[in-house]
Amino acid sequence: MARRRLAVRSSVCRSYLPLLALGAALACSKQKAPDEVAQQGPSPAMTPMAGRSNGGAIANEAEDGQWVRPAKNYASTRFSGLGQITADNVKNLGVAWTFSLGVLRGQEAAPLVVNNTMYVVTPFPNILYALDLTKPGAPMKWEYKPGPIAAAQGVACCDVVNRGASYADGKIVYNTLDDQTVAVDANTGKEVWKTKVGEINLGESLTMAPLIVKDKVIIGNSGGEFGIRGWLTALDLGSGKIAWRAYHTGPDSAVLIGSRFKPFYAADRKPNLGENTWPGDTWKIGGAGAWGWISYDPDLNLIYYGTANPGPWNPEQRPGDNKWSSTIFARDPDTGEAIWAYQLTPHDVHDYDGINENILLDLPFNGRTRKVLIRPERNGYIYVIDRTSGEVIAADPYGYVNTSTGVDLKTGRLKVAEEKDPKMGKVVRNICPAAPGEKDWQPSAFSPVTGLLYIPHQNLCMDVESVEANYIAGTPFVGMNVKMSPGPGGNRGFFDAWDPVARKLVWRLTENFPVWSGALATAGNVVFYGTMDGWFKAVDARSGKELWKFKTGSGIIGQPMTYRGPDGKQYVAILSGVGGWSGAIVAGGIDPRDSSAALGFVNAMTDLPGASTKGGTLYVFALP
């Protein structure tokens, strides 16, 4: 468990700098203030992918004390090089100021900090606030109200959340629930452009945080429970015009699969799999949105993201592999062309969306450094995938899984345990992990200092019964009765530290409720996360020891972030406000006596209303 310590920091920098890219490099080379430097050296040769300057945007990924996109950097590490707050002094952390968002639904967004201004997006009605960090108490600079159509709330499967905004080129860009992408002038709060990219009457909604790559805003739709046809779309950052759209089902021409498409596994190389692995024309309503995270590798000029579950949940209505649902795509951000694809869960039968974050790292495997992406997947495995080719290097379970027995590394195929497949008119019990998977959207963090991946996740199992799903456009298309319950051990959440090179668990914290908040790793060797009963916690990055905690007003399902204020101090911010799929019982006022409510999640959360009420408050913490 004890990791190798490299005593002298400067020697670390000297010996690894040539190899190094982003994170670790920042920790060393920036050398701004002594407190911004890691106390302990990084694991050898374990470096997050290089981030690059990106056109005119301020996306130079050297540590600038800002937070311009939800995942902090293109490699999606959620690691900040700021190190003022350390394992030693974090116990003194206190509230600097708070801000009420005025919306009491699930707060899943990450606040952004750019040019001494903080930007926060609320859940529906998706108000954008700009807070002036230069003034005491961070007063509001402006607010922007996009006024989304209220009916859009009827097609948001799992609370009316929004996962945040991105900044580039003087614009804050984010999505509204009613399928509009808006760009707002970061200084004035004036709308620059607004583009309608989807249709609520087809069940589409937007909840994800866009990623801005060069001059493209990349977004994907939600609605795998509404019979949508999933897509990823790039908008022009300047004008908001649609540059390209890649569907996730249908013929190759629609999926943007062309001559450059070179999937690693032979089975994926046949033509038109997005159409031929579905019965009849069901691919047109086959789900597979892209409501999660996008990463970008500037060296390879590739974006990486995963697609969501196939629809309906009832698998008997869609025999076949259902490509390209629950799939990782690597695409050229300029043209949208697919470069490779790997289907994590072929013919998904348990709602194992593949939308989780892809953390881009350069890791040593079998004696050589490989460009990989690491991904704690919903189906219960942590995948290590070669991001140049799509080859699965490793897939290890990080929780109790009985729906599959592993991943065949020869064919890349998940070895499914068929006895857990739902059957029409039958109840199949004790399926682990449950529909939200071992880990849902809540993003993990990677610290190049400790070399560990910090994974917030849940521990749930379920009973299911599939029923015939009727497709009526604009209404849910699910066909499954679900009833979830806590997994083995009885607790519903874990916060794990995972060593991706040794491929083993280093430490694990158990939480009563699912850990539905994101994680944040800092150079001060402190890792932050929140719990659904309202505690915001700081733990030691190496040992997992709880160092500090603070009880916020409502449950936390947001993404913690940190920044350097205009006063030079390091701040940590988190949104508090329970909701989301897991917190629907509170945010949506759901009746727990119906164990199938909120797609069955309520049955595992019946005690949440006693632990947290609705909320919507931004908390910002600092050392005294």
Partner 1 sequence: MIAARSRVRLGSWWLSPHLLTMTVAMASTACSGFQSVLDPKGPRAEAVSKLHWTLLSIATVVYVIVIAVLLYALWYASHRPLPAGDHPYRETPDQADTMKRGVIIAVAVTVIVLISFVFASVSTGSTLGRLGGTKPLRIDVVGHQWWWGVTYNDPDPHNQFETANEIHVPVGRPVLIKMTSQDVIHSFWAPNLSGKKDLIPGHQTITWFRADTAGVYRGQCAEFCGHEHAKMAFFIVAEPTLKFESWVQQQRGEAQKPTDSLQAAGERVFLNGPCAMCHTISGTGAGSKFGPNLTHLASRLTIAAGTLPNTTGNLAGWILDPQSIKPGVKMPPNRIDPQSLQALLAYLENLK
Partner 2 sequence: MNADRRTRIKLVGVASLLALSSLVACKREQRRFRESPPAATSANNVSMSELQPGPAVTNVQLRDPYEDNAYAVAQGKQLFDQMNCSGCHSHGGGGIGPPLTDDEWIYGSDPQNIFSTIVEGRPNGMPSFRGKLANYQVWQLVSYVRALGGLQGKAVRTTRDDHMMYKESEQARDKGHPTPTFVPPTSVKQ
Segment interacting with partner 2, rule: CB under 8 A, options 375-383, 385-393, 394-402, 461-469: 461-469
Catalytic site residue 351?
yes
DSSP character for 424? B
In three-state secondary structure terms, 201 is: helix
Residues β-bridged to residue 480: 466
Residues β-bridged to residue 122: none
In three-state secondary structure terms, 601 is: helix
Number of residues that bind partner 1 (CB under 8 A): 21
Segment interacting with partner 1, rule: CB under 8 A, options 31-39, 91-99, 419-427, 558-566: 419-427
Q: Does position 538 bind partner 2 by CB under 8 A? A: no
Whole-angstrom CA distances from 122 to 104, 159, 267, 576 are 9, 12, 43, 11
**Residue 507 vs 563, nearer CB to partner 2:** 507
Segment interacting with partner 1, rule: CB under 8 A, options 129-137, 189-197, 392-400, 462-470: 462-470
Q: What is the C-alpha to C-alpha distance for residues 612 and 551, in angstroms, rounded to an integer? A: 11
- Select the binding partner of residue 285 from partner 1, partner 2, none (C-beta < 5 to 8 A, by kind): partner 1
In three-state secondary structure terms, 538 is: strand
**Residue 193 vs 477, nearer CB to partner 1:** 477
Segment interacting with partner 2, rule: CB under 8 A, options 37-45, 88-96, 135-143, 466-474: 466-474
Among 44, 170, 320, 364, binds partner 1 (CB under 8 A): 320
Q: Does position 531 bind partner 2 by CB under 8 A? A: yes
Q: Which of 309, 322, 356, 358 is catalytic?
A: 309
Site string for partner 2, 99-138 (x = CB under 8 A): ----------------------------------------
Q: In whole angstroms, how close is the CB of 280 to partner 1 at the nearest point?
A: 6
Catalytic site residue 275?
no
| Tokens read off for 582 | 């897991």
* Rounded CA Rg of the chain: 22
Residues β-bridged to residue 175: 181
What is the amino acid identity at position 501? V
- Strands 381-386 and 526-530 turn out to be unpaired
Give the H/E segment covering residue 13: helix 9-16
Would you tell me how many other CB atoms lie within 10 Å of the CB of residue 254? Answer: 18
Which phi and psi (to 5°) does residue 216 adopt? -115, 135
Q: Which of 64, 159, 204, 225 is catalytic?
A: 225
Among 43, 180, 277, 404, binds partner 1 (CB under 8 A): 277
Segment interacting with partner 2, rule: CB under 8 A, options 48-56, 344-352, 439-447, 506-514: 506-514
Q: Does position 226 bind partner 1 by CB under 8 A? A: no
**Residue 275 vs 351, nearer CB to partner 1:** 275
Q: Is the peptide bond before 125 cis (omega within 30 degrees of 0)?
A: yes
Site string for partner 2, 546-575 (x = CB under 8 A): x-----------------------------
Q: What is the C-alpha to C-alpha distance for residues 415 and 423, in angstroms, rounded to an integer? A: 19
Among 19, 39, 45, 154, binds partner 2 (CB under 8 A): 154
Whole-angstrom CA distances from 557 to 255, 307, 333, 433, 574 are 33, 22, 30, 20, 9
Q: Does position 184 bind partner 2 by CB under 8 A? A: no
Which phi and psi (to 5°) does residue 498 adopt? -125, 135
Among 297, 463, 536, 563, binds partner 2 (CB under 8 A): 463
What is the amino acid identity at position 150? A
Whole-angstrom CA distances from 535 to 27, 293, 517, 551 are 28, 25, 11, 4
**Residue 149 vs 300, nearer CB to partner 2:** 149
- Select the binding partner of residue 275 from partner 2, partner 1, none (C-beta < 5 to 8 A, by kind): partner 1
Segment interacting with partner 1, rule: CB under 8 A, options 109-117, 270-278, 350-358, 394-402: 270-278
Catalytic site residue 309?
yes
Q: Does position 545 bind partner 2 by CB under 8 A? A: yes
In three-state secondary structure terms, 500 is: coil
Give the torsion through C-alpha atoms of 319, 321, 327, 330, to 10 deg.
-140
Residues 469-488 that bind partner 1 (CB under 8 A): 469-473
Q: Which residues of 593-603 are buried (b: 16+ CB within 10 A; e: fewer)?
A: eebbbbbbbbb
Q: Which of 36, 268, 297, 351 is catalytic?
A: 351
Contact set with partner 2 (CB under 8 A): 150-157, 225, 427, 463, 465, 467, 470, 472, 474-478, 481, 483, 491, 507-513, 531, 533, 535, 537, 544-546, 584, 588-599, 602, 606-607, 609-611
- The residue ranges that bind partner 1 (CB under 8 A) are 227, 275-281, 285, 318-320, 424-426, 468-473
Q: Which residues are catalytic?
A: 225, 309, 351
